[in-house]
Amino acid sequence: MRVLLLLLVGMSQALAAQALAPQSTPPPKPAAIDKVGSAKATRGADSLDTHSYADPSSVLSTHIALDLRADFDQKSLEGSAVLSLHVLDPLAGSVALDTRDLEIMKTEVSSDGKHWQAVGHELAARDPILGSKLTVALRKGARFLRVAYRTSPGASGLQWLTPEQTAGKKLPFMFSQSQAINARSWVPCQDSPRIRITYSAVIHTSDNLRAVMSAVNDPKAKRTGTYHFAMPNPIPSYLMAIAIGDLDFQALGKRTGVYAEPSVLSKAAKELEDTEQMVAATEKLYGPYAWGRYDILMLPPSFPYGGMENPRLTFATPTILAGDKSLVSLIAHELAHSWSGNLVTNATWNDVWLNEGFTTYVERRIVEAVYGRRQAEMEAMLGRQTLQHLVDTLPRGDTALWFSMKGRDPDEDTSEIAYEKGALFLRTLEEAYGRKPFDAFLRSYFHRHAFQTVTTSNFLDYFHKYFSENFPKTKELVPIHEWIYSPGIPKGAAVPQSDAFTLVESKMKPWLAGIAAASSIEVKHWSTQEWQHFLQKLPEGLNLMQMKELDTAFHFTNVGNAEIAFLWLQLSIRHGYAPASERLQAYLLGIGRRKLILPLYSELGKTPVGKARALEIYRQARSGYHPITQNSIDQLLGMKP
Ligand code: BES
Ligand code: ZN
């Protein structure tokens, strides 16, 4: 049966195996995956995606053709999506798509893509996490489904900025953020990472704006108001992306460049000048870059994330523009996703560590290759400290690498455990098996699974197979199942070491002991990371005199670097340090990157006076934040049930 279907639809074997897998049963039990053979039994079970209504074993979409007009007055994208369908179940009378807050105007099917017949559809009640299931009736022979629709002004995956909210202040701006489950708020689709599609798009906007997408972009395209795109490689829906604004382009290298508003462009280009070198370094480690160009889109400060690995066009926050390239590991991270994530994709959000943990590991390898071991180790140490903090504070169950996200919102509950425990796990493997063999394994893993999705048990299968074939006599050197399925940090974890940080600590000591002035601490040539370490190593309960002394010596309140400012503001709230109060307000009003502002609102929320202040600032700031950030802060401050 499977063979027959394969012949019929001619799709990749891996995709078919996943698409046809049974769609029930709970997470894999460690016992079931002890041996390579028995792991196969769980392959289908753990590829169940509880965050999508799509049933790819019945009908599978393979391509989406968009034709959308951006209406900045209505804050809406309006037009149509044509989905190419493979009907795998001959008895399927309908197809289920994911949507969220879409207005569906019309649904039609076609067998040739030319002649269309209207068909019925049903939009189910809105689930607070999943959105609304759209069920469309299918006729016999239907191979294309056209949905005419319009997005809502509050679409969770789009932000519409007024001219005043941009750097140039003259023209509006809009951008998407599809990961994890927000693509459905601007494209009706099978919004599950285990389903890959190619896409094409025609975007209509006004002719003073430029549209870009996670697709083939033409940097030389004239501003005509109509833009054509194609993404020829199959990608999961969470990698569909669009932005429209007053965007210019500057080349960084042969196949790299940056898009930004004109007034930000040259600063961005300077900061990101090592991008081409990063691409070359990653190729040397893990094999050819599979996506053609690697460009970066510098977004306005309301972008809710640091970066987003949209293929061919990383989206980035301007808070990395520190002026000294000290925060460009974020680019290394998003670039790394071109292998771990975009090429080899987590099958479900339970497996997100396969994306983010691998990527954080690769990110540090890129940083090491381009900026040296000292820099990479400082970043690894900061990551290790973050991990320790999470393990100490999160519910135990949430500190395993694999854990069930069922009933939870992956846009709210994906923690840095996936990143930092994942990266530490891979580093531990690297040190146990040796760098060369481990690099060869990763190259082979990326190559073998290119343009496919993997579950955690697929990874385990491959790992065991690879090492038993290549190192038949070596027994398991790392407690792999414990790393993946148990909470906490297993014994024998790799230990990052940073002499630079040891030095920072020893330089702090005399001041902390009260025997030297802050101004006498030798801080010349400290990098952002050394400052971060310094601020994180300050003990609880400094007095206001000490805060003042630090501020006078190092001008923290007015520091331009967004990461250093973040740590200082957090300390200032904690210690009731009033001179930072105005900067705090300006910071929260000026930046929408969730990771930098949520902890500040949270810190404020710890006292009644602080909570009142948080609400007061948030009242002013909310409309400037992205819906994803709004949602998190609404929940934090108790503004939603
Ligand atoms: N893919 C993530 C962003 C993401 C993860 C969005 C999960 C939605 C759900 C991106 O690659 C990322 O990790 N960004 C980080 C930066 C990185 C340097 C740690 C961020 O935004 O802070
Ligand atoms: Zn990432």
Q: What is the atom index within ligand 1 of the atom nearest the CA of 329?
A: 18
pLDDT value at 340 more than 80? yes
- pLDDT level of residue 39 (50, 70, 90 thresholds): very low
Residue whose CA is at the smallest distance from ligand 1 atom 2: 308
Pocket test for ligand 1, best of 308, 359, 412 (most atoms within 8 A of CB): 308
| Cβ pair 98, 191 in contact under 8 A | yes
Listed residue (527, 519, 575, 512) closest to 547, CA to CA: 575
pLDDT value at 118 more than 90? yes
Give pLDDT, residue 141: 96
- Mean pLDDT on 170-177: 98
pLDDT value at 62 more than 70? yes
| Cβ pair 571, 543 in contact under 8 A | no
Listed residue (299, 351, 291, 288) closest to 330, CA to CA: 299
pLDDT value at 25 more than 70? no
Residue whose CA is at the smallest distance from ligand 1 atom 15: 306
pLDDT value at 17 more than 70? no
Ligand nearest to the CA of 412: 1
Pocket test for ligand 1, best of 177, 302, 305 (most atoms within 8 A of CB): 305
Both structure tokens of 532: 């971060």
Give pLDDT, residue 640: 66
Ligand nearest to the CA of 176: 1
Q: How far is the CA of 306 from the centre of ligand 1 (A)?
A: 6
Give pLDDT, residue 45: 58
When comparing pLDDT for 467 and 38, which is higher?
467
Give pLDDT, residue 472: 84
What length is written for the chain? 641
Domain extent listing, the chain = 60-246, 499-637
Give pLDDT, residue 36: 28
Q: What is the atom index within ligand 1 of the atom nearest the CA of 363?
A: 18
CATH of 60-246, one of 2.40.30.10, 2.60.40.1730, 3.30.70.260, 2.60.120.10: 2.60.40.1730
| Cβ pair 640, 634 in contact under 8 A | yes
In terms of Cβ atoms closer than 10 Å to its own Cβ (0-12, 13-18, 19+), residue 98 is buried
What percentage of the chain reaches a pLDDT higher than 70? 93
The residues carrying an active-site annotation are 334, 419
When comparing pLDDT for 233 and 15, which is higher?
233
Segment 320-337, tens digit of pLDDT? 999 999 999 999 999 999
Q: How far is the CA of 135 from the centre of ligand 1 (A)?
A: 31
Q: What is the pTM of this model?
A: 0.93
Give pLDDT, residue 474: 80
Q: How far is the CA of 596 from the centre of ligand 1 (A)?
A: 13
- pLDDT level of residue 471 (50, 70, 90 thresholds): confident
Q: How far is the CA of 471 from the centre of ligand 1 (A)?
A: 35
User: What CA–CA distance (Å, rounded) separates 379 from 368?
Assistant: 10
Segment 250-306, tens digit of pLDDT? 999 999 999 999 999 999 999 999 999 999 999 999 999 999 999 999 999 999 999
- Mean pLDDT on 51-59: 98
What angle, rounded to 10 degrees, do the helices at 435-448 and 456-470 form? Answer: 130
Ligand nearest to the CA of 319: 1
User: What CA–CA distance (Å, rounded) separates 131 from 13?
Assistant: 31
* Residue type at position 160: W
Residue whose CA is at the smallest distance from ligand 1 atom 18: 330
* Residue type at position 247: L
Both structure tokens of 434: 């040796």
Both structure tokens of 353: 């560590």
Who's near 1: CB < 8 A, 6+ residues apart?
Answer: none
Q: How far is the CA of 193 from the centre of ligand 1 (A)?
A: 15
pLDDT value at 44 more than 80? no
Give pLDDT, residue 5: 33
Give pLDDT, residue 386: 98
- Within 6 A (CB) of ligand 1 lie 179-180, 305-309, 330, 333-334, 337, 356, 411, 414, 419, 595
| Cβ pair 57, 186 in contact under 8 A | no
pLDDT value at 206 more than 80? yes
Give pLDDT, residue 96: 98
**One-character DSSP codes across 258-270:** EEE-HHHHHHHHH
Q: What is the atom index within ligand 1 of the atom nearest the CA of 356?
A: 13
Give pLDDT, residue 37: 27
Give pLDDT, residue 538: 98
- pLDDT level of residue 635 (50, 70, 90 thresholds): very high
What percentage of the chain reaches a pLDDT higher than 90? 91
- Mean pLDDT on 333-362: 98
Pocket test for ligand 1, best of 185, 310, 333 (most atoms within 8 A of CB): 333
Who's near 599: CB < 8 A, 6+ residues apart?
Answer: 566, 570
Both structure tokens of 135: 């069920």
Q: How far is the CA of 349 from the centre of ligand 2 (A)?
A: 13
- Mean pLDDT on 446-466: 97
Q: What is the atom index within ligand 1 of the atom nearest the CA of 416?
A: 19
- Mean pLDDT on 198-217: 98
Ligand nearest to the CA of 328: 1
Residue whose CA is at the smallest distance from ligand 1 atom 17: 330
**Mean pLDDT value across the chain:** 93
Give pLDDT, residue 41: 32
Protein fold of 499-637: 1.25.40
Residue whose CA is at the smallest distance from ligand 1 atom 20: 306
Residue whose CA is at the smallest distance from ligand 1 atom 16: 306
Give pLDDT, residue 2: 34
Who's near 140: CB < 8 A, 6+ residues apart?
Answer: none
Give the CB-side neighbour count of residue 527, counting CA atoms within 13 A.
16
- pLDDT level of residue 11 (50, 70, 90 thresholds): very low
Q: What is the atom index within ligand 1 of the atom nearest the CA of 334?
A: 11
Pocket test for ligand 1, best of 302, 343, 356 (most atoms within 8 A of CB): 356
